[in-house]
Amino acid sequence: MTQWSTKVLRLGSVGLLAASLLVWAPSSLWAAPAKSKATPQAKKKAKKKTKTEAERIQERNKQHKKYIAIMRQELNRNLAQFKKMPRPPVYSFRYRMVIRRSVVIRASDGKIMSTKDSRKSPTRTIHVAIRVGNHTFDQTGRDGHDWRIYRTLLPASSYCPKELTPVILQKQLWQMTDYKYRIATAQYWRKRYVRSTKPKILDKAGDFSKEPATIYMAPLGEGLPLDVKKWKGILQRVTKQSSKAIRVIRSGTTVKAWETITLGVGMDGSMVRLRRWGYDWGMTLQYLGKNKDYVDGSAAGYARYNKGLPSEEELKKKFLEVWKKAKTQTKAPEGDPDDGPAIVDPALAGAMFYDILLVRLSSQRFLRKQDERVFANKMNQRIIPSFLSVVDNPLLESYEDTQLSAHYKYDDEWVPARRLVMVKDGVLKNFYLSRKPYKKYKRSNGHGRGVVGLPFFSRPGLAQIKSKREMTMKALRAKLIAEAKRQGKEYGYILTRFSGTSSVSRGIYTVTPEDILRVSVKTGKVEHVKGLRVRTAALQVIRGILATGNNYTVFNGSDSEDSGTIQITTIAPSLLIRRLVFDRVTIAEKKGYELAPPFTPVSLKDVKPTTRKTPACPKVCPEICKRCPACQKSK
């Protein structure tokens, strides 16, 4: 063979073509004349055509249906085997496949630090959920979590290889099902033994609610259309503003596009495809003041669609605002521990309501001995001022052109979302319910949320605080000063946003505002102060609300506890609170540089936001012009 190949190569291009035709062509073509070389135009036509977006969506649809069919086939095969097993019987059995795709671009000091793009090669994980026993008694604990087995010891999921064939997928499903079944039966018998000792049981409502089968296939949208090359340039130019600022120790800006698709089948006939996606941006900055104070600044946002991301000019302006705020904080005087009335802005107000009130309306928390269970027995009683109401509506997609990150149509347990009036005129009307029953509440109301692979938990969705006592910010400030005078206080306070976390522990609410303004009662002078945080009895905060602003604003954030990290959204106005207690926090210090930098340092004064100059409208537009780019008017 080698010798023959060498001889053929010596024949030249014409001989090679003829020899290859003699060897490989059918006998009917032996006498056919040799074809001429393809022209450049023919080569272009022969190239593989780029797929359109509609074709990509159709291809993904086909692939998802294939995965669902394989999961359904394996589920039925294992169900047939479970029926032959001894007690306890399997009464709930589900397969899930989670497909994640994302694009993440990070930049710092005018340089791209990292770029990750998994749009063409998404990660896939499979999850198996098995419950043995019955709806009244299964292997789960009192709050729905795994019974007496440390959760991190249990495999939450199994990663799939990039080339996922039907045989490999079936094998992974079979192995994971076998393992989860053995764990479930062990938990069940352990729980049976403990219950035989007749302990005091708070939970007598059952372990899993009966819900109708769900069939829902969410439509697929665009495949995260984020221009990586364009955004690299934008982030480089945005972060370059501080590249030679010696007092900006570290800064960075990130843009992320993400999509999570959950495919699932259940033994009750359920079949779902859930899709959640969005575009996130964020920036951080650490600034070192002349007095060695070291402060952080940040800004972030969410958009449901690509067009909702901020422009380059907006990002530059926001970056300079964060820089300016950090610099102002280092120059501010240190505040003294104090208490008094305060106005909190909408973002901080939303976080307060979420941590102090909404999280504590979770029915599964009432089943834990270590939880405070503040509102467990407060149904139809007033728990906040009567001019306030709270509505939770995950079906809401946007609010005044702002997209809401916590929007969903079905929760993570495949129960339809619905609008709930949680608090009406200060009176508690509802609890958040998952498929874990609580007392007389036997059905879920669409709030079983969490990360697939962990036991789902009843958690808030998308809450809107409504007020009947709204004021303008000018009137609210006047009321703040009047309240401070009434209490005999020297200052009132104005708080904006928060840095780090907002939390409640043992009935005490703790948060570090991003910015604290101190308003003098005598002179009305407003000044920044630093080194203070809020540390107040939680119930005192929400029960001490005197009035609200009329500036309702969306807060898109996240919450990490119980069943993992979930998206949360609150829509709230500014709040005037009767009394907040402030104590000191440690102010971080960092020594400045000893050596001179190798470049000419720049300061905030040297950097000015660039704006595009609008071209002047010509007096006479060309006849061909249909829409003048200068004045944006049709000619």
Look up the CATH number of the domain holding residue 199.
3.30.2290.10
Question: What is the mean predicted confidence (pLDDT) over 42-46?
Answer: 51
Indicate the number of domains in the chain.
3
> Where does a domain end: 538, 555, 584?
584
Q: Residues 480, 511: one domain?
A: yes
Q: Residues 264, 351: one domain?
A: no
> Where does a domain end: 560, 584, 608?
584
Q: Residues 151, 187: one domain?
A: yes
225: nearest Cα among 298, 277, 299, 152:
277
CA 511 to each of CA 348, 530, 533: distance values in angstroms, whole numbers, following the listed order: 9, 14, 6
Taking 3-state DSSP, the helix, strand and coil percentages for the chain, each rounded to the nearest 5, stand at 30, 30, 40
- Check: CB of residue 152 under 8 Å from CB of residue 124: no
CA 253 to each of CA 145, 160, 232, 320, 373: distance values in angstroms, whole numbers, following the listed order: 38, 32, 11, 12, 41
Highest mean pLDDT out of 278-287, 560-569, 590-599: 278-287
Question: pTM, whole model, 2 decimals?
Answer: 0.84
Residue 46 in domain: no
Residue 471 in domain: yes
128: nearest Cα among 160, 110, 155:
155
Beta strands in 267-366 (DSSP E): 271-288, 294-303, 338-344
Q: Which residue has the higher pLDDT, 593 or 204?
A: 593
- Res 14: pLDDT: 36
Q: Residues 468, 383: one domain?
A: yes
Q: Residues 343, 302: one domain?
A: no
- Check: CB of residue 329 under 8 Å from CB of residue 343: no
Q: Domain range for residue 62? A: 57-308
Q: Residues 467, 557: one domain?
A: yes
CA angle 100, 104, 105 (to 5 degrees): 170
pLDDT tens sequence across 341-393: 999 999 999 999 999 999 999 999 998 878 888 999 999 999 999 999 999 99
Give the mean pLDDT of the chain.
86
Residue 24 in domain: yes
CA distance 304 to 569: 13
pLDDT tens sequence across 286-298: 999 988 988 999 9
- Res 586: pLDDT: 86
Q: Residues 497, 563: one domain?
A: yes
CA 358 to each of CA 227, 381, 460: distance values in angstroms, whole numbers, following the listed order: 38, 16, 6
CA distance 504 to 375: 15
Question: What is the mean predicted confidence (pLDDT) over 580-606?
Answer: 89
Residue 324 in domain: no
Could you tell me the two tokens for 613? 């100059």
Residue 329 in domain: no
SS (H, E, C) 71-108: HHHHHHHHHHHHCCCCCCCEEEEEEEEEEEEEEEEEEE
Residue 634 in domain: no
- Check: CB of residue 558 under 8 Å from CB of residue 566: yes
Q: Residues 389, 443: one domain?
A: yes
Residue 332 in domain: no
CA distance 158 to 162: 13
Q: Which residue has the higher pLDDT, 6 or 437?
A: 437
CA distance 247 to 243: 10
Q: Residues 304, 374: one domain?
A: no
Residue 396 in domain: yes
Range name among 184-193, 401-410, 470-479, 563-572 with the lowest pLDDT average? 184-193
- Res 543: pLDDT: 95
- Res 20: pLDDT: 40
457 pLDDT above the threshold of 80: yes
Q: Residues 449, 555: one domain?
A: yes
516: nearest Cα among 325, 355, 346, 304:
325
- Check: CB of residue 300 under 8 Å from CB of residue 393: no
Could you tell me the two tokens for 125? 């994980």
pLDDT tens sequence across 528-543: 999 999 999 999 999 9
Q: Residues 542, 434: one domain?
A: yes
- Res 313: pLDDT: 94
Q: Residues 12, 100: one domain?
A: no
- Check: CB of residue 484 under 8 Å from CB of residue 524: no
